[in-house]
Amino acid sequence: MPLEIQIQKEISPGKTGTITVKLTGSLDTATAPELERQLGPAVSGAVTDVVFDLAQLKFISSAGLRVFSNARKQLKERGGQASFIHMQPQIQEVFEIMKALPGVAIFKDVSELDRYLAARQRAHREGNAQS
């Protein structure tokens, strides 16, 4: 099963610096290198938050988890974060078994994510105002 990768930049107010990565198919030993290649330039520069939409991801192995982990490390160095939405049960189970991506945020849908991002940006603004 191949992997389809769609990377979209968020342009709505309050979400600048965020990209959404929609994955469809199988993130495995054969397809993980392509995701890593495409994510490289995407998570550099001004991007601080990456939202992985896994609604159509059917399969994941440790090769895929490693890509997520590397992206998370890169983003964390710049004060950003990797988030995950719409996980199918079998994918969520793998994440739970690993408990291996400390610091990642998992949300059931976009509205839950939006509330979280809004709170983060508010905290960030308040922090800047105080300093």
Task: Tell which one of 99, 127, 129, 130 touches other proteins (CB under 8 A).
Answer: 99
Q: How far apart are CA 81 and CA 99, in angstroms?
A: 17
Task: Tell which one of 7, 63, 106, 110 touches other proteins (CB under 8 A).
Answer: 63
Give Cβ neighbours of residue 9 (< 8 Å, ≥ 6 apart).
18, 19
- Nearest residue to 35 via CA among 12, 103, 43: 43
Per-residue tokens: 24: 């469809």
The residues in 64-93 that bind other proteins, with binding defined as CB under 8 A, are 65-66, 69, 90
Nearer to other proteins among residue 16 and residue 70 (C-beta): 70
- Stretch near other proteins under the rule CB under 8 A, chosen from 16-24, 61-69, 76-84, 111-119: 61-69
